[in-house]
Amino acid sequence: MSGTAQIGVTGLAVMGRNLARNFARNGYTVAVHNRTTAKTDALVEEFGDEGAFVAARTPEEFVAALERPRRLVIMVKAGEPTDAVIQEFAPLLDEGDVIIDGGNAHFEDTRRREKELRGRGIHFVGAGISGGEEGALNGPSIMPGGSAESYASLGPMLEKIAAKAKDGTPCTTHIGPDGAGHFVKMVHNGIEYADMQLIGEAYQLLRDVAGYSPAQIADIFRTWNTGRLDSYLIEITAEVLSHVDAATGKPFVDVVLDRAEQKGTGRWTVQIALDLGVPVSGIAEAVFARSVSGHADLRDASRHLAGPTARKLREDEAPAFADQVEQALYASKIVAYTQGFHEITAGSEQYDWDIDLGKVAAIWRGGCIIRAAFLDRITSAYEAQPDMPSLLSDKSFAEEIAAAQDDWRTVIATAVAQGVPTPAFAATLAYYDSLRAERLPAALTQGQRDYFGAHTYHRTDREGTFHTLWGDDKSEVEN
């Protein structure tokens, strides 16, 4: 027997609840289920008038409520809870049914689950969902992986509930097989970390070097948000900076403990990049910056470490410096995205996913945390040249960086001279300069490796693998 609900959501914490409401508000009948039934009842009681919900008390009731092929979304914590829920529901399903994991799962877990369930005839869709609580309710960016067949059955529904870009395109697309969706969501989060860190560094410079107050910096960010930096993260940064703590009357940002936490997706982005051999230095510095901030013990000892104190500029000098920081932020941001897209290219090649980078950029234009006006241009760049080796191969981005780079360098030099830490600014510029360099010191590294370990090297002037007999007459042998 087949039920009436077109989709089911199990796991009704904030994200699950909001996603269920989003489906219902878009006209779908939604079966809802939670381990503790109180949450199911509360959802139906509070939001029952938003659409058609079927409250299920048991897994059996939940599965029976779904029309076939069944589509059920799991919204529980990544890791073991997800496996436990899959084990609970899979035996109740039939061939052709679709399980969707909407959590921030590690893509390797998704690959494992997909394979296991495929063997049982069940489609498993690892779907990255970005946009936080608000996005889940009003339109997230959705990055589903899995079989093309599962997307045929699920895609139209996802397209309906997803955010829409300014041109009306839904912010979801079939990313690729098995773990592709969660991989792309992971990299999204890595870029998110870099974006946030770069904004943080810009804030610190505007405060410590230019001498602006948080409220003034909020205004600067508001202005930036009307230009090429237009993005969700810049917009909310202005909101956070202009917020005043009710208890103390101080800027909110001054009463929050400066230790950044992380759930892990940014860290995964870097771990996987290391495995794939992809240089994501800007993203890595953002992850490390969070770790440094969390080491209260190390930072306490650092009180004894000498260094310059940032010098506040004269009031009339500050606006010009703020303009330079905008240039630096934009240039570094382009590099951080370049690194993220490179990691997606490498993942796609490694796992045979055939990911369309233009489509990824397109579905990040709305709904997700890194949504930004310039993703329109990244979309067009990849549409025009799908195989470009790097975003920096695009002429218009390269030209923009060329125009920004004097200020970019000045800002970083100022930060270094004045002792303001700007690890992500500096790492992204170093990446850019590494790509520009005609010769890198890697030749010397090869010489050292050959010296102490006979690790061999290649020559610039002829084919082959060589080793120098360093201890003897330093003659060269071909291996």
Q: Which residue of 22, 189, 324, 345 would you call a contact of ligand 6PG, by CB under 6 A?
A: 189
Q: Which of 109, 192, 400, 407 binds ligand 6PG (CB under 6 A)?
A: 192
Active site residue 235: no
Sheet holding 53-56, edge to edge: 53-56, 30-33, 7-10, 71-74, 98-101, 123-130, 141-144
Compute how many residues bind ligand 6PG; rule: CB under 6 A.
13
Piece of the chain touching ligand 6PG by CB under 6 A; list 36-44, 149-157, 259-267, 301-309:
259-267
> Is 343 one of the annotated active-site residues of the chain?
no
State the amino acid at position 94 in one-letter form: D
Q: Which is nearer to ligand 6PG, 132 or 211 (CB)?
A: 132
Place of tokens 């004045």: 418
What DSSP assignment string belongs to 300-351?
HHGGG---PPPPPPPTTTHHHHHHHHHHHHHHHHHHHHHHHHHHHHHHHHHH
Is residue 30 classed as helix, strand or coil in its secondary structure? strand
User: Quick check: helix, strand or coil at residue 101?
Assistant: strand
Q: Work out whether 279 is an interface residue with ligand 6PG (CB under 6 A).
A: no
Q: Tell me the C-alpha distance between 411 and 145, whole Å.
A: 41
Neighbours of 246 (CB within 10 A): 7
In sequence order, the 6+-apart residues with CB closer than 8 A to the CB of 41 are 55
Q: CB of 361: closest distance to ligand 6PG in angstroms?
A: 15
| Distance (Å, whole) CA 30 – CA 410 | 56
Question: Site for ligand 6PG (CB under 6 A): which residue of 6, 204, 262, 385?
Answer: 262
345 touches ligand 6PG by CB under 6 A: no
- Per CB under 6 A, the list member of 82, 130, 197, 225 interacting with ligand 6PG is 130
Judged by CB under 6 A, which stretch of 42-50, 155-163, 255-263, 340-348 contacts ligand 6PG? Answer: 255-263
Residue 332: CB atoms within 10 Å: 32
SS (H, E, C) 439-476: CCCHHHHHHHHHHHHCCCECCCCCCCCEEECCCCCCCE
Of the candidates 192, 201, 285, 326, the residue annotated as catalytic is 192
Query: Is 266 among the residues that bind ligand 6PG (CB under 6 A)?
Result: yes
Q: Which of 191, 335, 368, 412 binds ligand 6PG (CB under 6 A)?
A: 368
Choice from 57, 250, 263, 311 touching ligand 6PG (CB under 6 A): 263
The interface region with ligand 6PG, picked from 231-239, 258-266, 272-280, 459-467 by CB under 6 A, is 258-266
Phi, psi of 5 (to 5 degrees): -80, 130
* Integer Cα distance of 23 and 398 in angstroms: 42
Which residue in the list 114, 185, 333, 400 is annotated as catalytic?
A: 185
**Single residue of 34, 169, 225, 265 touching ligand 6PG by CB under 6 A:** 265
Is 369 near ligand 6PG (CB under 6 A)? yes
Sole window of 26-34, 77-85, 128-136, 440-448 interacting with ligand 6PG (rule: CB under 6 A): 128-136
> For the chain, how many residues are written?
479
Q: Does 131 bind ligand 6PG (CB under 6 A)?
A: yes
Residue 374 beta carbon to ligand 6PG: minimum distance, rounded to whole angstroms: 18
Q: How many Å apart are CA 67 and CA 169, to the nearest integer?
A: 28
Q: In the range 169-188, which residues lie near ligand 6PG by CB under 6 A?
A: none
Which 96-125 positions form the footprint of ligand 6PG (CB under 6 A)? Answer: 104
Cα dihedral 16/18/24/29 (nearest 10): 10
Q: Closest approach of Cβ 76 to ligand 6PG, in Å? A: 14
Residue 298 CB, nearest approach to ligand 6PG (Å): 21
Amino acid occupying residue 4: T
The set of catalytic residues is 185, 192
Residues in the site for ligand 6PG, rule: CB under 6 A? 104, 130-132, 189, 192, 261-263, 265-266, 368-369
